[in-house]
Structures are given as C-alpha cells and as structure tokens.
C-alpha cells in the first residue's frame, strides 16, 4: 500500500522541524537549518508580494488529461474494489534540511525517519464503483539516528505520536480519485493538528488517478489538482507513464511538480501571529509505483524529491527575517 506516493514527507512536518530548531540556534543564527540561495527564488530584501486570497486557485478535485494512449492492445482501466477487503502499509519518510536566515547559515540537518503503519478497509462499493473506505493509523515510530537537535526530536515525536490510533473515512471513485477525507481530530492539541492534517493529505493520493480512455503500455497522462498542505495552497501536477500492465496489476513512472503563489500561510493549529509570508516555492519528485486495480492502495512505491522554499517570518523588534530552505526527501512504502 502506498499513501500519497509522491508527497510522503508532509509540508507540515517541514514547518514543525523548522519551528523546533529555533530554540536550538543562537538568536543571531535565527533558528532553522541552513540552505544556499536557489535559482528562481526571491532574494533577501525582496518584499513579499501580498497575494489576496481570491487570487489563489481554489482547492478542487483531481483533473486527469490523457497525453498518449500508448501501444495496442488498448484497454479501459478502472479501480474495482471489493467490500470487506483489507490492506496495510508501512510508510517510511526521511528528510534533510538546509536553511539560510538572512546572511546566516545553519548546519545541514537530517530529521529522524518517521514510520507509519496504516490499516485500510473497504466498507461499501456502490454500483458505479465508488468505494467507501475506513482507515486507522495502527502504529507510529520515530526511528533513532538523526543529526537533529534534541528539542526538535522531542517535539517531532510528540506531534507524530498524536496520530497513533486515529481513525477516518474517505471514498475512492472508479477512476482512482480520492474524495471527502475526514480523520477524527477530537482531543488533539493545537500544536499537533499539523500531524493529523498530514495524514489527511496523504490519503488523497492513496491511488493512481487514471484516464477514462483505453490505454496500453507506454501511455502517458497528467493529473492536476490544487491542494492545501499545512495551510499552504499548492498547485500540483503529476505526470504518469504506464510501463507495465498484466491483468489488474500495473506499474507507472511518475514525475510530480508542485508550485505555490506568494501567500500568507497560517499552519493548522497556529495563530495569526504565527503565520509567515511565502515568497517562493517549487517541489519536484520522481519515482515508481506498483499497484493493482483490485486493491485500494498501491503495492509499493519510492519517491525522491527536492524542494526549495523562500519565506518571511516575524523577527525581533518587528523586523521580518528572510528564510530560504532546501529540502531533500525520500519516501518508501512497502
């Protein structure tokens, strides 16, 4: 099983790691881990554009566009799930951060590997193929071995452990589109809401969205969607290529690209005073997914990605701090 195969390291976890590191660095170093300036991102001193909410595209469903039908024989592909079927996944996510705050750099920091074990069950299947799903976060582990500061590790563990035992529901259409994800947040402390939000966002990509047209080996298509992760409105495009199909089993190569317009971001559980101004964001990941149309989740997946982000955060004496972050992530599902 695979959960959101191309964005397994959550944006909310990035924000948490950066926030935790603030108390570990001397004031003049301005907390977070360090990264060099990246091409195409705002330079220090550049005023963050003040994007009005109506200028951002609304969050919406996945839109799939067929680019190339591939080689004959072509066949229609649809998810066919069975009531009562169950699946589990072990999901491992790793991340390395580098940051530059103003002219100050912080050491390259590796966050600990976070491992989630999730259980998924198909509760009902309607005549049109839409399946009603139930999930539970069966277990969560923060593995040892990391260069991250002690306080970052402590807060990270508290946050991700708050997801253990959480249950939720969602639905999967016959085309593989995931909708109406709802995870129980009762009793969750505000500082841990980002971790719950991450699980919800992961679920939206438990399947590979497929085109309505018949396809064969070599087929290429794109799936576009506007999502909100950690309070950040993101425009996402996943490009797929079908490399193998045998019966209901198939394999695809995937390239995922994410961008975000300048905007004010208030992460889940944060107050308005804890918001930041995003001035630049790009994310690119590549990998492979093995899946089966009879299972609600992929069999396996591995995605490696690099992201660059520029932001302004409140600093001492009311002076904003320019922050540049580079993130390298690796996600494995088995």
pTM of the predicted protein model: 0.81
What mean pLDDT, rounded, does the chain reach?
A: 80
Give 52-70 pLDDT, tens digit per residue: 444 787 888 889 999 999 9
User: What average pLDDT does this structure show over 173-187?
Assistant: 91
Q: What is the pLDDT of residue 145?
A: 66
Give 222-272 pLDDT, tens digit per residue: 999 998 887 889 999 999 999 999 999 999 999 999 999 999 988 777 766
Q: Greater confidence, 24 or 293?
A: 293
Give the separation between CA 85 and CA 121, rounded to whole angstroms: 6
The lowest-confidence range among 2-11, 195-204, 318-327 is 2-11
Q: Is the pLDDT of residue 27 over 70?
A: no
Q: What is the pLDDT of residue 148?
A: 65
User: What average pLDDT does this structure show over 179-187?
Assistant: 90
Give the separation between CA 79 and CA 325, rounded to whole angstroms: 38
Give the separation between CA 109 and CA 328, rounded to whole angstroms: 11
The lowest-confidence range among 27-41, 178-192, 234-248, 298-312 is 27-41
Give the separation between CA 168 and CA 229, rounded to whole angstroms: 18
Helix 11-21 × helix 193-203 angle, to 10°: 160
Give 99-156 pLDDT, tens digit per residue: 888 777 777 878 788 888 999 999 999 999 999 999 999 999 887 766 666 777 777 7
Q: Which of 253, 285, 301, 326 is nearest to 98 (CA)?
A: 326
Give the separation between CA 330 and CA 328, rounded to whole angstroms: 7
User: HSE of 259 in the Cβ direction (CA atoms, 13 Å)?
Assistant: 7
Q: What is the pLDDT of residue 164?
A: 92
Q: What is the pLDDT of residue 157?
A: 81
Q: What is the pLDDT of residue 105?
A: 79
Q: Is the pLDDT of residue 86 over 90?
A: yes
Q: What is the pLDDT of residue 46?
A: 42
Q: Which of 74, 63, 51 is nearest to 226 (CA)?
A: 63
Give the separation between CA 275 and CA 267, rounded to whole angstroms: 7
DSSP secondary structure of 154-172? HHHHHHHHTTTT-EEEEEE
The 3-state DSSP composition of the chain as helix, strand, coil percent (nearest 5) reads: 15, 45, 40
Give the separation between CA 14 and CA 34, rounded to whole angstroms: 13
For residue 305, give every residue at least 6 positions away whose Cβ sits within 8 Å of its Cβ, in sequence order, or none.
6, 7, 9, 256, 283, 284, 285, 286, 327, 328, 329, 330, 331
User: What average pLDDT does this structure show over 275-294?
Assistant: 92
User: HSE of 30 in the Cβ direction (CA atoms, 13 Å)?
Assistant: 22
pLDDT band at 279 (very low <50, low <70, confident <90, very high): very high
CA 210 to mean position of chain CA atoms: 20
Give the separation between CA 213 and CA 276, rounded to whole angstroms: 43
User: What average pLDDT does this structure show over 28-56?
Assistant: 45
Q: Is the pLDDT of residue 41 over 50?
A: no
């Amino acid at each position: 099983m695979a959960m959101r195969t191309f964005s397994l390291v959550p944006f909310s976890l990035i924000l948490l790691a950066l926030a935790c590191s603030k108390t570990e660095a001397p004031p003049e170093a301005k907390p977070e881990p360090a990264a060099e300036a990246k091409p195409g991102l705002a330079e220090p001193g550049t005023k963050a554009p003040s994007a009005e909410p109506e200028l951002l595209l609304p969050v919406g469903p996945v839109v799939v566009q067929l680019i190339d039908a591939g080689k004959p024989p072509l066949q229609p592909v649809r998810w066919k799930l069975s009531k009562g079927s169950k699946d589990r996944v072990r999901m491992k996510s790793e991340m390395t951060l580098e940051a530059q705050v103003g002219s100050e750099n912080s050491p390259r920091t590796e966050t600990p590997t976070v491992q989630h074990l999730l259980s998924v069950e198909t509760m009902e299947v309607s005549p049109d193929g839409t399946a009603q799903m139930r999930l539970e976060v069966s277990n969560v582990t923060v593995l040892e071995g990391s260069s991250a500061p002690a306080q970052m590790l402590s807060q990270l563990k508290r946050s991700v452990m708050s997801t253990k035992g959480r249950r939720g529901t969602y639905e999967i259409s016959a085309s593989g589109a995931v909708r109406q994800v709802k995870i129980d947040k009762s009793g969750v402390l505000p500082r841990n809401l980002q971790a719950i939000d991450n699980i919800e966002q992961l679920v939206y990509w438990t399947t590979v969205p497929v085109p309505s047209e018949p396809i064969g080996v070599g087929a290429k298509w794109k799936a576009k969607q506007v999502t909100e992760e950690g309070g950040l409105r993101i425009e996402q495009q996943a490009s797929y290529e079908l490399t193998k199909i045998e019966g209901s089993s198939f394999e695809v190569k995937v390239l995922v690209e994410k961008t975000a317009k300048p905007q004010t971001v208030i992460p889940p559980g944060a107050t308005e005073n804890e918001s930041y101004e995003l001035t630049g964001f790009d994310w690119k990941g590549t990998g492979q997914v093995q899946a089966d149309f009879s299972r609600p989740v992929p069999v396996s997946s591995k995605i490696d990605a690099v992201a660059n982000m520029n932001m302004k955060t409140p600093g001492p004496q009311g002076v904003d701090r320019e922050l540049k972050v580079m993130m390298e992530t690796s996600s494995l599902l088995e």
